Chains A and B, each alone.
Chain A
Amino acid sequence: MSAPLLSLRHLTVDYATDRGTARAVDSVSLDVASGETVALVGESGSGKTTLALSLLGLLPEPPARVAPESRIEYQGANLAGGDNASWRRVRGREMGMVFQDPSLSLNPVLTVGSQVAEVVRTHSKCTRREATTRAAELLAMVGVDSPALRARQYAHQLSGGLRQRAMIAIALAGEPKLLIADEPTAALDVTVQAQIVELLAELRRRLGMAVLLVTHDFGLVAQMADRVVVMYAGQVAEMAPAPVVFSGAAHPYTQGLLLAARGGAGSAERRLAAIPGAPPAATAWPSACRFHPRCARAWNHCRAEAPQLERVSEGHDARCWLVSEPAGETGGRPS
């Protein structure tokens, strides 16, 4: 296999808080190959957004601090610890980003077209006029009707769906090889969500981009992802090719999330499957296995020692004692 486009090794991010240091991302290693779509799945506080921001050097430091042993290798070069100038060579041109809420990401006092054109001019030497033309082309590419007209409008004149299309146009202006999309449909209506998913899928096919999709929605994962990385409490809980996750997730947390997402029946009739408790806070990760306080299948060993990420099958890893089967303990693999 050729070298991955993006390769994270032991990525660790700490936040300084008034209640001590919070390790929001704890030694995460993962790869994204060229043209591949990897879904980073987790609930609030799992560290998924912190991880995404760290890839572009967008974390406010301080309070955030990327640990020195962290490696963010993009096409073989380590970006971690780089200065502003080195980040600027990467942002937009190599990796583009789409955020959750398009109404917070667009400047309300500039036209949409000028914001797209600004990014075009940042990435390539061209005249103002050429940038304006290119901006309209980009808006057309992301499915904006009458792009020349829309380019002259302001964010408040556009619907939520059109704003998100404009944000995608901005992210694509530098022709990145990797698009980081952080909950790109969460703020949109259901029928508009379907349109944006379709657009992202089409752009990926046409441009051969890799996508890192940050989401909590397994419906979105099923539609888009080649591979899935499930995060819990700052760590990778499980990673596997998408079909494997849906058919044979090994980690009880992944299984619980899927059951909740499917609206599956729990124990009693007409009851939804829920995971008890709430996602923990980064200032107080539980000891040993971080999922044990919420896990229905936890046994003594889970409370005593932290499991490592172990191979379940080729390309499928999980961090769970049900998979690792420590010596001297009994506990079968999940069916």
Chain B
Amino acid sequence: MTPLIQARDLVKEYPGPHGLWGGGPPVRALRGVSVAVERGETLAVVGESGSGKTTLGRCLLRLTEPGAGTVAFDGTDLLALKAEELRRWRRRAQIVFQDPGAALNPRMTIGAAVREPLIAHGIARGSDAAQRVAEALTEVGLDPTHADRYPHELSGGQKQRAVIARALILKPEFLVLDEPVSSLDVSVAAQVLNLLADLRDVRGLTYVLIAHDLRVVRHLADRVAVMYAGNVVETGPVAAIYASPRHPYTAALLSAMPVPDPTARQGHVMLRGEPPSPVSMPAGCPFEPRCPHPRKDRRCEAERPEFREIEPERRAACHYADESPAVSSWPNAPRPSSSAPA
């Protein structure tokens, strides 16, 4: 079966920071990323800031032009589409952004915002459009009367529902959800995640869910791709990743997650330092400088690990990924304060 969306070897560079004496070296946000998502599947892309997850999401929708690589949607080469073809294709794929307050025009009513795609694509107008807006608002759990309100009159959760209604009104097949609940309150975030799950099941939608919070991922995703410094370092079914991460970075991310239970011995692997800056990358494994894996050796410093199949449906970019890293046996990295030179 061909995936609905398939990206191969995506590379994206941004110009380096401007200095007084010319630009710095380019920032490589994506360093050859390949992902594939089957129809009806939800792939979560997880990583910390600077990992390239948002750039990947934008490249999948051609909101950002990748520097190299290919993106195929339902067999069509997305990067070859001309402007008019691309515009027509946009009905099939939409995006939901992190901050609904920023995604809605404060001077436009909710109804006008949700209606806009219909007008822009010449699909409906007048009372027909109003009818569709009312349906879309109802579908996301808002009241049709919300159409006359302005964004500031709505709560954060209601605004995000309106943004989802706008994304769905063209009846797309594919949605990129970029941190869809990270600006919402805990009690409200769960409502929106449940809504997204319902919409997927009812409409057979395909999602790429971008998240830094693994708790969000667990409920919505079928598969997970973990990104670190512009590369995918591990992929696999969500349950398998949680049960036995094979890349030490995945293991560290999982164990850094605070557990809301004071009796749980929070055995977090303390990762030293922070993600490498996208302008200066280690020669070998990009994770090597922070890696707490006891098997770490010369090879990790010198040789970049291949992103290889570990078992069916699971891949990881670690020389020692065949052994599931037994996190409990890892020595905790020295605490930052004791590592500071005197």
Contact = CB atoms under 8 A, between A and B. Distances in A.
Interface stretch (A111-119, A216-224, A311-319): A216-224
Interface string B100-143: 00000000000000000000000000000000000000000000
Given A143-B337, A272-B219, A159 B274 contact: yes
A294 B252 CA distance: 37
A43 B187 contact: yes
A223 B266 contact: yes
Contact of B256 (A194, A202, A221, A261): A194
A146 interface: yes
A271 B215 contact: no
A274 B213 CA distance: 17
Interface in B262-316: 262-264, 266, 268, 270-271, 274-275
Contact of B191 (A143, A217, A222, A274): A274
A278 interface: yes
A243 B157 contact: no
Interface in B172-188: 185-188
Contact of B219 (A165, A198, A222, A270): A270
A163 to B, nearest CB: 11
Nearest to A264: B190
B261 A246 contact: yes
A216 B186 CA distance: 8
A191 interface: yes
B45 to A, nearest CB: 15
A279 B342 CA distance: 48
A262 interface: yes
A190 interface: yes
A222 B335 contact: no
B110 to A, nearest CB: 15
Contacts of B335: 143, 198-199, 202
A101 B47 CA distance: 20
Interface in A259-300: 260-263, 266, 270-276, 278-279, 294
A30 to B, nearest CB: 20
A57 interface: no
B239 interface: no
B158 interface: yes
Contact of A216 (B49, B185, B339): B185
Contact of B337 (A142, A146, A219): A142
A167 interface: no
B23 interface: no
A79 B341 CA distance: 41
A61 interface: no
B326 interface: no
B60 interface: no
Contacts of A258: 260
Contacts of B188: 43, 274-275, 278-279
Contacts of B191: 274, 276
B275 A189 contact: yes
Interface in A188-222: 189-195, 197-199, 202, 216-222
28 contacts: A44-B156, A140-B337, A140-B341, A140-B342, A143-B337, A143-B340, A190-B212, A190-B253, A190-B257, A191-B253, A191-B274, A194-B268, A194-B270, A194-B271, A195-B271, A195-B336, A199-B335, A216-B185, A217-B258, A219-B259, A222-B262, A246-B263, A261-B186, A271-B194, A273-B190, A274-B189, A275-B188, A278-B155
Interface of A: 43-44, 140-147, 159-162, 165, 189-195, 197-199, 202, 216-223, 225, 242-243, 246, 256-258, 260-263, 266, 270-276, 278-279, 294
Interface of B: 48-49, 155-158, 185-191, 193-194, 197, 212-215, 218-219, 252-253, 256-264, 266, 268, 270-271, 274-275, 335-337, 339-342
Given A44-B185, A189-B212, A261-B260, 4 more contacts: A143-B339, A145-B341, A219-B260, A222-B266
